[in-house]
Amino acid sequence: MNPSPASSDAPAVLPARTYLNAPDTGLMSWANTRDHKRVGVMFLVSTTIAFFLGGVFALLIRLELLTPGPTIMDAMTYNRLFTLHGVVMIFLFMIPAIPSGFGNFLLPLMIGAKDVAFPKLNLLSFYLYLAGAAVAIYGLIYGGTDTGWTFYTPYSTTTATKVVPVLLGAFIIGFSSILTGLNFIVTTHTMRAPGLGWNRLPLFVWAIYATSIIQILATPVLGMSLLLVAVENAFGWGIFDPARGGDPVLFQHFFWFYSHPAVYIMILPAMAVISEVVCAFSRKNIFGYKAVAYSSLGIAFVGFFTWGHHLFVSGQSVVDAGIFGVLSMFVGIFTAIKVFNWTATLYRGSIAFKTPFAYFVGFLFFLVFGGMTGVALATLSLDVHWHDTYFVVAHFHFIMVGATVMGFLAALHYWLPKISGRMYPEGWGLVAAVMVVLGFNFTFIPQFLLGNEGMPRRYFSYPEHFWALNVASTAGASVLGFGLLIVLVYTLASLRWGPVAGPNPWNSRGFEWATPSPPPPENFDATPVYTSGPHEYDEQAVPQPQLPEPEPRHV
Amino acid sequence: MNELMRRMLWLPEQASEYARRVDGLHFFVISTTMIAAFGVFATAIWFFVRYRRRSDSDVTPVVHPRAIHEALFIGVPLALFLLWFAIGFPQYVSLTLPPPDAQDVFVQGKKWMWKFAYAGGPNSVDTLRVPADRPVRLLITSRDVIHSFYVPALRIKMDALPGRYTQTWFTADRPGRYEIFCAEYCGLGHSSMLGELVVMPQAEFDDWVAEQRRNVLAAAQDGGAAVQPVLGRAGVVDEGRRVAAEQGCLKCHSVDGSRHLGPTWTDLYLRQSKLKGGKTVVADEGYLTKSMMDPAADIVDGYQNVMPTYQGRMSPPEVAAIVEYIKSLRTPAVRSGPTEGPVYESIPRKQ
Amino acid sequence: MSETTALNRLAHHFESLDKQQQAARLGMWLFLATEVLLFAALFAGYGVYRYLYSDTFVRASRDLHTWIGGVNTVVLITSSFTVAWGLDFAARGRGDRTRLLFGASIALALVFLALKYVEYSEHFHEGQLPGRYFTYEGLGPGPGGPIFYALYYLITGLHGIHVVIGMTVLAVIGFRAGQGAYTAEYHVPVELAGLYWHLVDLIWIFVFPLIYLA
Amino acid sequence: MAGHPQDAGHAHAGREHVHHSHFGRYVAVLIALLVLTAITYVAAKVHLPGGWAVVVALTIAIAKGTLVALFFMHLWDQRGPNRLVFVTSLVFVALLIGLTVADNATRFPLANPPGSPRAVKPPGFAPPPEGGDRLVR
């Protein structure tokens, strides 16, 4: 039941019965659905809206920083805006986008299941997300929260603006995240189709599985610490209040115990996508399957041991700093393993430079540079200089925008035919990809230099000698924004007018392509039985007599 | 080489031996990062070209890694990273071990200013003067929320925790003026919480300290503290002070001449102030009363409109008492704030 | 008869009832893991302040009625036992007995809550309240007392909420068991309800020494 | 009972619950738990010196918790993943508690809350009057 190579006479019409029109197309059938594909699509739509919302906030922030003094707003508005940007991008876009969106759609397809293990919980997860998003955005807009997404005490417990609604919103979204993670772990454990052992699991599933572990184990701690801040803010119980003997640094411990692993919630799914894309477009088996698969688990676990590297200048003890410092060096290794194995996968491949692959190229560069600057940041004495400067901002945008958004865009282009049955325009896709990658570099490379020069983050105004680099960064941001706008326009257009893709337009061996595009509601006509792995390309091509002898299996 | 790298990376000047050592590590780390990133990238690009798809029926061989590949993938970066750690950690530890002969300076962050106090005086606001070539230990604290004391030129930064002390130290060896930033987000004035570090030769520093102590002494002989309410109508003034404390005025308005959320009350009475929009106003009784009832009407330039109205929250006699209290806060000469010391040409920064 | 019931239980997307029950069990364990981590933050907070204000914490915990904590421990352990016993009957298709034993557990939980109420009302009377509401003078000056009581209310309060949720779950499942909704083949909801209740017990087993015996 | 479609599944479920009752085991665990509770209660009344009281109390709590998890919660005869999940969560609890307490225990003493006996002031430490002990609220 592995996908067959696309025949040249691919069907020019969409399948008659798909998850999109069966059981029916009414709004209620979506609102009440148990189908993981529909839930995934709903997550995709809402997270994409959140992404563009957050993007608009980002552009406003960059506009404000175009000149040293006030440019288009006052300090209060600016502080609210960067809080909005952070909360919307992290809680409403980054964390749910790939796992809850693409993960929901693809994970059951990839393991040959009819649905996730708990379809009702899955739908509940989506509604929790919506409810949390509504509460958080209400709090941000009407409460004017100005704490930044980190909610550091005692600022967050003493600010005159309303913080509690945002905390509750994030708390509710946390539950959505937990339910999704729980669902994926159970699904992966119990619902794999016959023939699909752990060592044949698609790498996408491995990475989403690792993500889910983090979601399960870390999110409750965030929930509890947000609740404690809310209690503190509303009632003054004093757990984090220095005036009552509380320790504000303890909040930072709790917060980063979640939020550092949360960074891996954001990046692991992008790695999941990239592992699939690199194989499909180089038409090559993955180099070092086990290394790539297990390194996802490695990231998930070691990622928990490094949270203290956010506290190197917070008054944390030297002993803790040393422990966290050295452990942070190890977490980078797992990413390095993946990067080298992806690159080695290209060796002797047959590389088609399509749009998803273009985003893979961007991803590779951003991940290597962003990842290594991350390890550099964990180098203790350097962190003392860089901490809370634009260097940090540039670093985590390299990972989150650079790597994660590239992963998201690669996934969007790669699986758009699967989800909608239609292709995007390849030419426009490449143009936009080039704009996004270049615009991104122009936005954030100057910010590394700003950080080196010493500009702290969350600055509304800045001394004049930071001006030139800020102008460069704003200019780059406008290119990046324009590129993303092009993506949005042609994606929406191709949903209606794009050419019909056929079941397997990429000739991919991924299991999700073994069923029509878009898939029927029950995913597969019969329970599939797998006889080969999802990243095996050797026996796939049509044999031609003049080809040389097959290569030995071990090179 | 050091200078070239420093300029290429836009690093600020290096005002201490520690800064130069950290920059050495910085250059090493960034160079390896660059080499690795471009190495991976060049390899990838070579593969894109060499192994581009030539026909739709291309066949690819199965390539599996040998153990040595994965060992290299793990070993090489791990060795590099651990080397970074091995260099960086001792530097970090050295920051937490101030030499015993270091001079102590108490640093206090407060929305949105830095106060510096030397044992035995003097105190100063926003300007930290230290002798060159002598270890200085900073004991850092905060009055309200977390701030972070950051001197880019020294490559040091330490959070100011409310109610408790953290420490860091440095030995500045280049006289000059350097920027001090607040690096931990602390609200409206976060980006204007700027200070200046003035490094002076030991002799000049000693002169400055002696000069300052003489001034403080003179002020004390003049009339006790630097801020001495003019007495008379004492009952009303006391009443005003009490109401001001009760209503929380003093959370935002200082009575010692320092800038806070709102303008200081010291010498506020009859002061000429420039308003937002360019008008000028004299702070007479009428203006002070109006500012309590309708604060948004006339905002002094450089301040935010954050004050709530007190219309209906205070009785007319209470308002009058506060005005009397403000009127009483007059000093012969305001002594707080940075005092001018010897001026150094700052080392020119690149444009 | 029992087979058809069991087959009806099979959701459309599972290949077998066994897989489905396995999934439910694993899901419940993952949920319990999140509960453990939820309490972990509070316990970590307790650990830190226990270290920082060790003397005050010891005195504060000696102020508490150890006997109430002890009796409550016995009560919860016994209720856990009756729940486990109830599951034993459910596994043999004796839903009526399950209802009876779950009812006993709920009664024990009520005893627990009643004792907790006695304790809370005494604290309120004495001014042993969290943070800024703290007016009790028996612990001397310093911030240790208010912080101890903030943690006390957070931990026992959150645990109390779990007790109430657990009682509700036991009531619903016990009632349905009494109606004969479960069989020897399919009684996974009884098992999951039991797991939840045991976790509530398990957490109390750690709360008791930390709060009362510190 | 013919036509049993889930033989494998029932064999598993049956081994656990149908064929023999666990009642005896539950009673033994209950007695053990009650005895341990009594021991910890008495040990607390003795007021052991130093940190020993906490160590003893927590050791007994861990023993009791293990009994509950293994027998009441059936981890003793359950599948690998369930055990792994629970043990993993406990590892992370230990991690969180251990490293946060370690931080407070080893940091610069004055970075601890001023009301705490752990915030030992070094000799000769004389902050200016507007020092950190006074906070603006």
Query: Which residues of chain C neighbour A119 with C-beta distances below 8 Å?
Result: 13
| Average predicted confidence (pLDDT) for chain B | 82
| A130/B contact by beta carbon, under 8 A | no
H helical segments located in chain C: 2-8, 17-52, 54-63, 66-91, 95-126, 144-178, 188-207
Considering only the beta carbons, identify the residue of B117, B119, B143 that sits closest to D135.
Answer: B143
CB atoms within 10 A of CB B302: 11
Q: Which residues pair with B108 in a beta bridge?
A: B115, B141
Find which of D107, D130, D134 to mutate to test the B interface (most B CBs within 10 Å of its CB): D130
Considering only the beta carbons, identify the residue of B62, B82, B159 that sits closest to A538.
Answer: B62
Separation CA A177–CA A171 (nearest Å): 10
Structure tokens at C174: 């016990």
D 50-109 residues with CB < 8 A to B: 108
Residues A337/A351, Cβ–Cβ less than 8 Å: no
Instruction: Say whether pLDDT at D41 is over 70.
Output: yes
In A173-228, where do the E strands start and end?
none
Cβ contact A250–C40 (<8 Å) = no
Separation CA B148–CA A372 (nearest Å): 26
- Region of B53 (left: φ > 0; alpha: ψ -120 to 50; beta: rest) is beta
How many separate domains does chain D show? Answer: 2
B–C touching, 3+ CB–CB pairs within 8 Å: no
Query: Which residues of chain B neighbour D131 with C-beta distances below 8 Å?
Result: 106, 108, 141
The β-bridge relationship of strands B156-160 and B127-131 is unpaired
Q: Do the domain assignments include residue D124?
A: no
Mean predicted confidence (pLDDT) in D92-118:
91
Find which of A222, A224, A225, A254 to mutate to test the C interface (most C CBs within 10 Å of its CB): A224
Residue type at A147 in one-letter notation: T
Counting as low any pLDDT under 50, the low residues of chain B are 224-232, 332-351
Separation CA A519–CA A38 (nearest Å): 11
Structure tokens at B73: 């993938």
| A554/B contact by beta carbon, under 8 A | yes
Q: Which residue of A has its CA nearest to B96?
A: A318
Would you kindly state where each structural domain of chain C is located, as residue ranges? 15-212
How many interface pairs between C and D have CB atoms less than 8 angstroms apart? 172
Query: Which residues of chain D neighbour B145 with C-beta distances below 8 Å?
Result: none
Quote the pLDDT of residue A4: 56
Separation CA B121–CA D128 (nearest Å): 9
In a 13 Å sphere around the CA of B140, the CA atoms on its Cβ side amount to: 28
Q: Do the domain assignments include residue D98?
A: yes
Cβ contact B145–A547 (<8 Å) = no
D69: which DSSP letter?
I
Structure tokens at B115: 């106060």
Do D58 and D90 lie in one domain? The reply is no
| D112/A contact by beta carbon, under 8 A | yes
From B147's Cα to the closest Cα of chain D, the distance in A is 13
- How many Å from the N-terminal Cα to the C-terminal Cα in chain C? 55
| A319/D contact by beta carbon, under 8 A | yes
Find which of B140, B164, B168, B252 to mutate to test the D interface (most D CBs within 10 Å of its CB): B164
From C176, C199, C179, select the one nearest C188 (Cα to Cα): C176
From D28's Cα to the closest Cα of chain A, the distance in A is 33
**Domains of chain B (ranges plus CATH)?**
2-51+65-95 (no CATH), 103-222 (2.60.40.420), 234-328 (1.10.760.10)
| D119/A contact by beta carbon, under 8 A | no
Residue type at A434 in one-letter notation: V
Structure tokens at B125: 């606001």
Q: Do the domain assignments include residue D17?
A: no
| CATH class name, domain C15-212 | mainly alpha
Find which of D100, D110, D116, D133 to mutate to test the A interface (most A CBs within 10 Å of its CB): D100
Mean predicted confidence (pLDDT) in D46-57:
83
What's the angle, vertex CA A117, arms to CA A114 and CA A120, rounded to 5? 100
SS3 per-residue string spanning B67-87? HHHHHHHHHHHHHHHHHHHHH
pLDDT tens digits, C143-157: 888 999 999 999 999
CB atoms within 10 A of CB A23: 11
Considering only the beta carbons, identify the residue of D37, D92, D104 that sits closest to C52.
Answer: D104
| C154/A contact by beta carbon, under 8 A | yes
Q: Which residue of A has its CA nearest to D107?
A: A317
From A218's Cα to the closest Cα of chain C, the distance in A is 7
Quote the pLDDT of residue A545: 34
Q: How far is CA B113 from the centre of its chain?
A: 7
From C27's Cα to the closest Cα of chain A, the distance in A is 6
Query: Which residues of chain B neighbour A441 with C-beta distances below 8 Å?
Result: none
Separation CA C79–CA C85 (nearest Å): 10
- Residue-range definition of the domain harbouring residue D110: 79-119
What is the value of pTM for the model shown? 0.86
Find which of A185, A225, A320 to mutate to test the D interface (most D CBs within 10 Å of its CB): A320
**Domains of chain A (ranges plus CATH)?**
37-514 (1.20.210.10)
Q: Do the domain assignments include residue D126?
A: no
Quote the pLDDT of residue A16: 85
The answer for residues whose C-beta is within 8 angstroms of residue D111's C-beta and 6 or more apart is: A249, A315, B161, B164, B165, B166, D119
pLDDT tens digits, B233-275: 556 777 787 778 777 787 778 776 667 778 888 778 777 777 8
Do D30 and D72 lie in one domain? The reply is yes
B12: which DSSP letter?
P
Separation CA B63–CA A552 (nearest Å): 8
Separation CA A170–CA A168 (nearest Å): 5
Q: The dihedral of CA A428, A434, A440, A443: what is its sign?
A: negative
Residues B40/A345, Cβ–Cβ less than 8 Å: no
Q: Do the domain assignments include residue D6?
A: no
B–A touching, 3+ CB–CB pairs within 8 Å: yes
D 111-130 residues with CB < 8 A to B: 111-114, 119, 126-128, 130
> What SS3 state is found at A360?
helix
Residues B121/B130, Cβ–Cβ less than 8 Å: no
A 11-70 residues with CB < 8 A to B: none
CB atoms within 10 A of CB D7: 10
Helix, strand, coil proportions of chain D in percent (round to 5)?
Answer: 65, 0, 35
Q: The dihedral of CA B81, B87, B89, B92: what is its sign?
A: negative
pLDDT tens digits, A76-132: 999 999 999 999 999 999 999 999 999 999 999 999 999 999 999 999 999 999 999
From C21's Cα to the closest Cα of chain D, the distance in A is 9
H helical segments located in A283-405: 289-302, 318-346, 355-378, 380-386, 390-397
Q: The dihedral of CA A119, A122, A128, A131: what is its sign?
A: negative
Do D90 and D46 lie in one domain? The reply is no
- The position carrying tokens 């929406």 is A492
Mean predicted confidence (pLDDT) in D44-72:
89
Query: Which residues of chain C neighbour A117 with C-beta distances below 8 Å?
Result: 13-14, 23, 27
How many interface pairs between A and D have CB atoms less than 8 angstroms apart? 55
How many interface pairs between B and D have CB atoms less than 8 angstroms apart? 54
Q: Do the domain assignments include residue D95?
A: yes
Q: Which residue of B has its CA nearest to A149?
A: B185
Task: Classify residue C113 as exposed, middle or buried by CB count within 10 Å of its CB (0-12, 13-18, 19+).
Answer: middle
The answer for residues whose C-beta is within 8 angstroms of residue D114's C-beta and 6 or more apart is: B163, B164, D132, D133
The β-bridge relationship of strands B127-131 and B195-200 is parallel
pLDDT tens digits, A31-84: 999 999 999 999 999 999 999 999 999 999 999 999 998 899 989 999 999 999
Averages of pLDDT over runs of 10 residues in chain A (555 residues) are: 52 82 86 94 96 95 93 92 95 94 95 93 96 94 90 88 93 95 95 90 96 94 93 88 88 95 94 95 92 94 93 94 94 93 93 94 93 94 96 95 94 95 95 96 95 95 94 96 96 93 89 91 88 78 38 39
Instruction: Say whether pLDDT at D126 is over 80.
Output: no
Task: Classify residue A155 as exposed, middle or buried by CB count within 10 Å of its CB (0-12, 13-18, 19+).
Answer: buried
Query: Which residues of chain A neighbour B40 with C-beta distances below 8 Å?
Result: 339-340, 343, 364, 368
From C139, C159, C141, select the one nearest C72 (Cα to Cα): C159
Separation CA A309–CA A357 (nearest Å): 34
Query: Which residues of chain C neighbour A225 with C-beta distances below 8 Å?
Result: 41
Cβ contact D108–A317 (<8 Å) = yes
What phi and psi, each to the nearest 5 degrees, are found at residue B179?
-80, 145
| A538/B contact by beta carbon, under 8 A | yes
What's the angle, vertex CA A79, arms to CA A76 and CA A80, rounded to 5? 90
Query: Which residues of chain A neighbour D99 with C-beta distances below 8 Å?
Result: 253, 308, 320, 323-324
Considering only the beta carbons, identify the residue of D92, D102, D111 that sits closest to A304.
Answer: D92
A 285-314 residues with CB < 8 A to D: 304-305, 308
Considering only the beta carbons, identify the residue of B108, B123, B166 that sits closest to D111.
Answer: B166
Separation CA A73–CA D46 (nearest Å): 66
pLDDT category at C113 given cuts 50, 70, 90 is very high
Query: Which residues of chain D neighbour A315 with C-beta distances below 8 Å?
Result: 107-108, 111
pLDDT tens digits, C5-60: 555 678 888 888 888 988 999 999 999 999 999 999 999 999 999 999 988 998 99
Separation CA B180–CA B108 (nearest Å): 13
Do D72 and D28 lie in one domain? The reply is yes
Residues C16/C5, Cβ–Cβ less than 8 Å: no
How far is CA A72 from each of CA A57, A168, A378, A460, B193, rounded to the nearest angstrom?
Answer: 13, 31, 36, 11, 21
From B230, B200, B229, select the one nearest B212 (Cα to Cα): B200
Do D64 and D103 lie in one domain? The reply is no
How many interface pairs between A and B have CB atoms less than 8 angstroms apart? 290
The β-bridge relationship of strands B123-125 and B156-160 is unpaired
In B111-228, where do the E strands start and end?
113-118, 123-125, 127-131, 136-142, 147-151, 156-160, 166-170, 176-182, 195-200
Separation CA C113–CA C118 (nearest Å): 9
| B248/D contact by beta carbon, under 8 A | no
Cβ contact A238–C30 (<8 Å) = no
Structure tokens at B311: 């219309």
In a 13 Å sphere around the CA of A514, the CA atoms on its Cβ side amount to: 24
The answer for residues whose C-beta is within 8 angstroms of residue A415's C-beta and 6 or more apart is: A102, A105, A106, A512
Q: Which residue of B has its CA nearest to D127?
A: B106
Do D106 and D63 lie in one domain? The reply is no
Do D29 and D67 lie in one domain? The reply is yes
How far is CA A2 from each of CA A36, A282, A514, A520, rounded to the nearest angstrom?
Answer: 21, 18, 6, 17
Sheet holding B123-125, edge to edge: B123-125, B113-118, B103-110, B136-142, B166-170
